[in-house]
Structure 1
Amino acid sequence: MSIIQTPSVTSVPVSFEVYPPRDDAADAALHETIAKLAAVDPSFISVTYGAGGSTGGRSLEVLTHILRETRVEPLAHLTCVGSSYREAASLIREFLDAGVRSFLALRGDPPEGGGAEARGDLESAAQLVQLIDRVQAECSPYTEEPIPGVPGAARVERRRHVDIAVAAFPNGHPRSRYPAEHLDALLAKQAAGATLAITQLFFHADDYHAFVARARAAGVEIPILPGIMPITSPSRLRRVVELTGEPVPGTLAVDLDVEPTVEGRREVGIRYAGELCRAVLEGGAPGIHLYAFNHHRTVLATLAEAGVIPPIEETT
């Protein structure tokens, strides 16, 4: 089973990213969001590990909630920066023991001012991919099922292999040392066993299409899923540009700045993201991955704007 598959509500595979609640009060709201997102039968819902591990303890709770309360595949984010092999392997085993079989392997941001010892044993996401694969093979290489009518006999089958997604950067990684380093890194992740790439956000469909063309020419064969974020306020746009180093999208920035109302800015962001979804799908994208910010209304409205799902009426 692959985490890129065709859901029943739409012919376009869709998926979402959420993050663990920061406190108990946010649990109920997140559970409602997960239920609303699950209703469109996404291929998976990914759960971040939290900045600096600040909400890492809640990640497993969210993943097991998805497993228990929906039919959707949960995908666990894992970062390796600052971790020892033992710590990373222990966390992977914990997730596997809970029933999680899909991961997003990320290097993570190195701590500012930290020396080599602060970076941990794992130097790259490709090494984390290999570790996930190895730990899964050690934990559960096969399954056994009793054969009815044959006492003591069992049918032995290989256990489902883990799916491992990795990050891709359409306009290059901000810390790349040379122009094609992000492509070389993606090739290394693929060679290590990655089964899917999810892009960092971008603002123009041509950025995605050109990147996919360069990646294919370089030898990348795994699916490259576009990661899209509906941006509904000037402050969020400034923050995203600051974090990613992406060029400011002029049209979106102006439209958000001149719109005087919160709901109007939300509509601007949905319209822009919906058009971006349509454009990448028309160019052959294998699906859409939306960064939900733990709010279902905006990402579902974006999919409706793109014509991927029917319009959804929100009840109050």
Structure 2
Amino acid sequence: MPLHPDSPAVPTPLPFSFELYPPRSDAATLALHDTIRILADAGPAFLSVTYGAGGSTGGRSLEVLRRIRATTDTEPMAHLTCVGNTYSGAAALIREFLDAGILSFLALRGDPPAGSSEDAAFLGDLESSAQLVQLIDRVQAARVPYTEARVPGLPGAAHVQRRERAQIAVAAFPRGHPRSRHPREHIDALVAKQAAGATLAITQLFFHADDYLSFVSRAREAGVTIPILPGIMPITAPGRLRRVLELSGEDLPGELAVALEIEPTADGRREVGVAYAAALVRAVVAGGAPGIHLYAFNHHDTVLAVLREAGILTPHPHKEAAR
């Protein structure tokens, strides 16, 4: 049931990626292994794995990242947050990820724990994601300042080469950060993250293409040159929409909300959510988005359906099995 049947077609191939979170039970772990396999088979640029506030799921995050590294050809991306981290603790965690072969990170300031004040006291030693970006770069430089390639036929000789630098992504906020003190603070923050060494930005969710496109335009005018990936979340239930709006502070997307409320079946609501997200994908790509990042909620069927309906993926052999 497409909400926007006249949305422009998407050019292919277009890079896409997915966000996952660590499982909370053994049964969820087995299900996530299947999801990783199926999502990786679709050919994403990377699979990112969230990291619990204050390190609550740090060990499980690393397990998932290792699983992606060991069983797929897809790049794993580790989330890191400033919340509750000391310099030494964050540096140790970064080294642990690097030792596991992880070379892609998403550096986040993070949200305050429930019930904490809105000042910076909850952050620990790291006060901004820009500082975390710099720390990732310094830890990697200290661990591998350069690499050496042997020279055939000359024992002991080597070519000294520059190390492969980590890709460090950061968050961007199309409609402003909830704790921004002035209208341009989120743009200034993105400029600072880029100056600190960020190589990619991924937006928080949004529901209207103009929110993303106008944000990118303002960021470019301010001097941001790194790619800005739109983060899109397919919403397939009214309760999920309400919860997302509570957490994000986004305005109610009226067309989507009404369509979800009046649709009587779960399958019908899924079609509504997929169609809305696919139309959003087509619109932002038509406006110049360099790729698409989808929040998967640890399920592969919905996000792959969005990509198929948007014209990014052809029908996939896993489609029927995933339903």
TM range (shorter): over 0.9
Secondary structure at the aligned position of 1:122 is classed as coil
Q: Which residue of 1 aligns with 2:178?
A: 174
Write out per-residue CA displacement over residues 273-292 of structure 1, whole angstroms, 9 at most, x where no aligned residue. 00000000000000000000
SS at match of 1:315: helix
Query: Match of 1:262, as an amino acid?
Result: A
- Say which of 41, 44, 48 aligns to 2:43: 41
CA deviations over 1:32-72 (Å, ceiling 9, x no partner): 11111111211111000124432221011111111111111
Moved more, 276-285 or 34-43: 34-43
Is it true that 1:249 corresponds to 2:256 in the alignment? Answer: no
Between the aligned partners of 1:243 and 1:117, the Cα distance in structure 2 is: 21
Structure 1 residue 117, shift from structure 2 partner: 4.9
1:60 equivalent in structure 2: 62
Following the alignment from structure 1 to structure 2, what is the Cα–Cα distance between the partners of residues 75 and 26? 20
CA distance in 1: counterparts of 2:149 and 2:15, whole angstroms: 32
Report the equivalent of 2:221.
217
Determine the structure 1 residue equivalent to 2:116: 113
**How big is the shift at 1:118?**
3.5
Of residues 118, 122, 131 in structure 2, which corresponds to 1:127?
131
Q: Which residue of the partner structure matches residue 93 of structure 1? A: 95
Q: 1:171 to 1:116 in 2, by over 3 A?
A: closer
Q: Are 2:53 and 2:110, in contact at CA under 8 Å, matched by a contact in 1?
A: no
Which of the residues 27, 40, 60 maps onto 2:29? Answer: 27
Q: Please list every run of 5 or more consecutive structure 2 residues that lacks an aligned counterpart in the other structure.
A: 1-11
Greater relative CO (CA pairs within 8 A, separation 6+): 2
Q: Give SS of 1:221's match.
A: coil
Q: Structure 1, residues 110-139: CA drift from partner, whole Å, max 9, x if none?
A: 233357654201100000000000000000
Q: Return the alpha-carbon distance in structure 2 between the equivalents of residues 315 and 210 of structure 1.
A: 39
Residues of 1 paired with 2:39 and 2:265: CA distance? 26
Q: Distance in 1 between matches of 2:266 and 2:24?
A: 24
Residue 314 (structure 1) aligned with residue 314 (structure 2): no
Structure 1 residue 263 displacement after superposition = 1.0
Q: How does 1:160-309 map to 2 (within 5 A)?
A: 160-309=164-313
Return the TM-score normalized by structure 1. 0.94
AA matched with 1:254: V
- TM-score of the superposed pair, with normalisation by structure 2: 0.92
Asked whether the equivalents of residues 82 and 110 of structure 1 are also in contact (C-alpha less than 8 Å), the reply is no
Structure 2: which amino acid aligns with 1:69?
A: T
After superposition, the C-alpha distances for 1:261-316 in whole angstroms (9 at most, x for unaligned) are 11111111000000000000000000000000000000000000101111223227
Percent of residue pairs bearing the same amino acid type: 71
> How many residues are matched?
307
Q: 1:160 to 1:24 in 2, by over 3 A?
A: same
Match of 2:247, as an amino acid? L
Aligned to 2:321, the other structure's residue is in SS state: coil
Q: Which residue of 2 aligns with 1:4?
A: none
**Matches of 1:50 and 1:301, distance apart in 2:** 28
What amino acid sits opposite 1:99 in the alignment? G
